[in-house]
Structure 1
Amino acid sequence: MQLVDFSSRALLIAFILYCVSFLGYVVALTGRRWSNRDPEKHLHRWSRLAFIVSVIGFLSQVAYFITRWIGGGHVPTSNMFEFMTFLGMMIMAAFIVIYLIYKQPLLGAFAMPVSIIILAYASVFPTEVQPLIPALKSYWLYIHVTTAATGEAFFAVGFAAGLMYLLRTVNYKAQEGSARKEQWKLELVLLVILMVIGFTVSVFGFKGMNYQAEFTQQPSMAGNGAQPAMQGTVEYTLPPIVKPYNSQLVQMDTFLGMSQPLFEAPFWMKGINAGRKLNTVIWSALSGIVLYLLLRLAVRQPLGAFAGRVLEGIDPEDLDEISYRAIAIGFPIFTLGALIFAMIWAQEAWGRFWGFDPKETWALITWLFYTVYLHLRLSRGWQGKKSSWLSVVGFIVVMFTLVGVNLVIAGLHSYAGV
């Protein structure tokens, strides 16, 4: 267990260094505007320092991965904590590759937060080394997961560059209908990102306060006179705005004077965990909206307009090219990992290549989406805003495939959310 403990410390060091690196990129980005001497020299000095710190953080995370592998006895990609930390590491690797190719220093200001948010989100899940279930005891699993995550990591860099392009080019001064529609769509994307951040902050905050609520649920009588299933119990770590359907409160810590849930989950949300999942979605939305409004109040303008002013001076054509190249690199890797190697593993684990499991279906949807992206880019000449919007939406599909399918939709991959 000493190696596992060391791996945890190495991961914490990597996370801290990523945050320091992000601050360095922010200083490079904002300081260029008020530097009285040489703005470009200021930009490259701070971005170079930030890049060095990010590389050191990446090496620390590699140390985490290797020591957890040795200490745990298997490749650490078998549950949501391990997979999300591996994805964060591969996003950093993809960023380093793209940075070395294009030397675009400010890409880190948007790529680093993606990795930071994913590592923070990973920490929400149990961090203990867990024994493998039989379906996971296959080297094809490791090949499938690692290559799929590597492809998704390049999609994440493409997303970061595409988002930067939109922030750089969407005109917030225009008042035409089409321009207003673009502005609202971009603000919605930023709100969704803040919801993920808000969820993570909320979970850590209430976990730090040791918040807890517990419910019991007795399922309704089954048909044909069959007896109902045994009573189930579910624990909340966020204040229960919504309780499970047909459940009784066992105990609940008071929060802001709220000692009872406000609503009950609808009857059609089956399963005792359905109410908890709906409660998590509501908390994510509320915390994201609060963060968005606070930031709007702080900058006194739409967040996209503020970010666009900060990004002035960056060539949007470079960002468009980086986004496309990152996705073009990631697509064949994702194809191998998420489809071909996944089907080989499925045949070995479950005796069939394809079974329309929710995770398999959404992996196919993701692959089809990026296939359409590349087709429109190469055959129809979709560049600039059209291409960037697709790169942003595509990564939202990726994140739903990774998070939403595992935690919301029941299927053969549900073990990954335990």
Structure 2
Amino acid sequence: MSLLDFSNAAFIAAFFLYSGAFMLFTIAIMGRRWSGRSPKEHTARWGRIAFITSSLGLLCHLAYFFTRWAGGGHIPVSNMYEFMTFLSMMVMVAFTVIFSIYRKILLGLFSVPISIIVMAYAAVFPQEVQPLIPSLRSIYLNIHVTLAALGESFFAVGFAAGLMYLLRTVDFKSSSKSDKRQQRGVEFTLFIIIVIIGFLVSVFAFREAGYETVFTRSNVTVDNPGQNDSTIEKVIYKMPPIVAPYHSEIESFQSILGVKKPLTEAPFWMKGVNAGRKFNTVIWSLLTGAMIYGALRLIVRKPLGKALQPVLDGIDEGDLDEITYRAIAIGFPIFTLGALIFAMIWAQVAWGRFWGWDPKEVWALVTWLFYSAYLHLRLARGWQGRKSAWLAVLGFLVVMFTLVGVNLVIAGLHSYAGTD
């Protein structure tokens, strides 16, 4: 077995161990009501087993990382697959650090799924080891990406703790305007998480089905005044095309449920040959997420936030607030070093300038400013509790847009990320 084969096997083992740890954390929290032991004893016993399992998963994840590094010849953070697998590993590192400090079993129930979802998201992208382009052959890349991901992983744990705080403290029985607004905010956050899961379900379902539809589109360029040069470009859809590329023609169409043509085409203002395909993916993610959300609502017969709230009974909300703050306080200086300082040094080495208003640079700055505001409001204005929790939740949504939206939708110098 080659190093890369072993690396892939270790990654799969880590995924299943994390999934097992999540189920064990669920048993530790949910099963305490039906256990013959005292609730505290049951939670401690199963929580300990769950943490050991997640730690074994982290060891396998580390084995994946270092064997892929050795087999590929460079640190595996150079494309979207490698970066997202590294980020999921750092989320587990951050969880392990915070859990070791606070020993809150419930934190595993909300933090471990983040790593699992990120690992599943990574599997969407091409997994082959790719040679580095010249601008990536720098020690500053290693420092920049690893520190940025580590900082973002602590933000992820802060997000989990902040969401737990909101689920613990929002009054889902109240009908006042302020409480209704809080209820809708929590429900919307849970819906966004389910939409991300819906994206993964859509991708893997149609991938397993072998779905493919091909469009052709003319791309007109102007090389010289008065002379147009037209090229034909193919756009391959891996999901049924609800939205076709703008001004395109069908080359081959795989019908589904009797539908033999797209419902509409992308609007003209969506630039780029792949804009329609990306828009189509967003629509499928929303549809699948909405169906999953609707099914869950039918099962529990109440808002999901209200259904989850009893899980947090007995949890000290002050501890959750403290964990949220500490996780972000640890992650912020690490993110500052990785996403800004070493990123600018690398930009100077690679492109001859510290700053160029590339979309990824701009959104990294937006993320840094947001968490700077969080710490300022927390320390100088005394924003604790619910205000602090909402900032932690919104901040991580900004992080996710920086990672997903900028890399996959907005073109820029960071578009080398291996999207397919």
TM-score w.r.t. structure 2 length? 0.98
2:122 counterpart letter in structure 1: A
Tell me the residue number matched to 2:339: 338
Shift of 1:117: 0.2
Q: How does 1:10-409 map to 2 (within 5 A)?
A: 10-219=10-219, 224-409=225-410
Deviations 1:371-395 (A, max 9, x none): 0000000000101110000000000
**Contact persistence 2:126–2:418 (CA under 8 A):** no
- Flag as ranges the 4+ runs of structure 1 deviating above 4 A: 220-224
Shift of 1:354: 0.3
Aligned-partner Cα distance in 1 for 2:124–2:35: 40
Aligned-partner Cα distance in 1 for 2:159–2:26: 19
- 3-state SS of 2:231 partner: coil
Aligned-partner Cα distance in 2 for 1:128–1:176: 54
**Contact persistence 2:155–2:327 (CA under 8 A):** yes
Aligned-partner Cα distance in 2 for 1:351–1:277: 32
Matched residue count: 418
Shift of 1:251: 1.0
Tell me the residue number matched to 2:2: 2
Deviations 1:347-373 (A, max 9, x none): 000000000000000000000000000
Aligned-partner Cα distance in 1 for 2:367–2:418: 20
- 3-state SS of 1:308 partner: helix
2:147 counterpart letter in structure 1: T
Aligned-partner Cα distance in 1 for 2:229–2:263: 27
Q: CA RMSD in A?
A: 1.1
Aligned-partner Cα distance in 1 for 2:155–2:149: 10
Identical aligned residues as a percent: 62
Moved more, 248-257 or 195-204: 248-257
Shift of 1:220: 5.1
**Contact persistence 1:406–1:417 (CA under 8 A):** no
**Contact persistence 2:367–2:398 (CA under 8 A):** yes
- 3-state SS of 1:219 partner: strand
Deviations 1:64-90 (A, max 9, x none): 000000000000000000000000000
Shift of 1:224: 4.8
1:41 counterpart letter in structure 2: E
Shift of 1:234: 1.1
- 3-state SS of 1:230 partner: strand
**Contact persistence 2:214–2:234 (CA under 8 A):** yes
Q: Which runs of 5+ in 1 are unaligned?
A: none
**Contact persistence 1:407–1:417 (CA under 8 A):** no
Shift of 1:219: 2.9
Aligned-partner Cα distance in 1 for 2:233–2:411: 17
**Contact persistence 1:243–1:264 (CA under 8 A):** yes
- 3-state SS of 1:215 partner: strand
Shift of 1:271: 1.2
1:330 counterpart letter in structure 2: G
Deviations 1:20-70 (A, max 9, x none): 000001111111233343011111111110000000000000000000000
Q: Which runs of 5+ in 2 are unaligned?
A: none
Moved more, 337-346 or 210-219: 210-219
* CA spacing shift, 1:221–1:4, aligned 2, 3 Å: closer
Aligned-partner Cα distance in 2 for 1:417–1:180: 42
1:307 counterpart letter in structure 2: L
1:378 counterpart letter in structure 2: L
**Contact persistence 1:135–1:349 (CA under 8 A):** yes
Aligned-partner Cα distance in 2 for 1:54–1:155: 19
**Contact persistence 1:21–1:51 (CA under 8 A):** yes
Tell me the residue number matched to 1:414: 415
Aligned-partner Cα distance in 1 for 2:332–2:343: 15
**Contact persistence 1:72–1:129 (CA under 8 A):** yes
Aligned-partner Cα distance in 1 for 2:182–2:227: 55
- 3-state SS of 1:130 partner: coil
Aligned-partner Cα distance in 1 for 2:259–2:52: 48
**Contact persistence 1:14–1:61 (CA under 8 A):** yes
1:240 counterpart letter in structure 2: P
TM-score w.r.t. structure 1 length? 0.98
Deviations 1:82-116 (A, max 9, x none): 00000000000000000000111110000000000
**Contact persistence 1:163–1:388 (CA under 8 A):** yes
* CA spacing shift, 1:385–1:417, aligned 2, 3 Å: farther
Deviations 1:166-193 (A, max 9, x none): 1111111000111111111111100000
**Contact persistence 2:220–2:231 (CA under 8 A):** no
**Contact persistence 1:167–1:307 (CA under 8 A):** yes
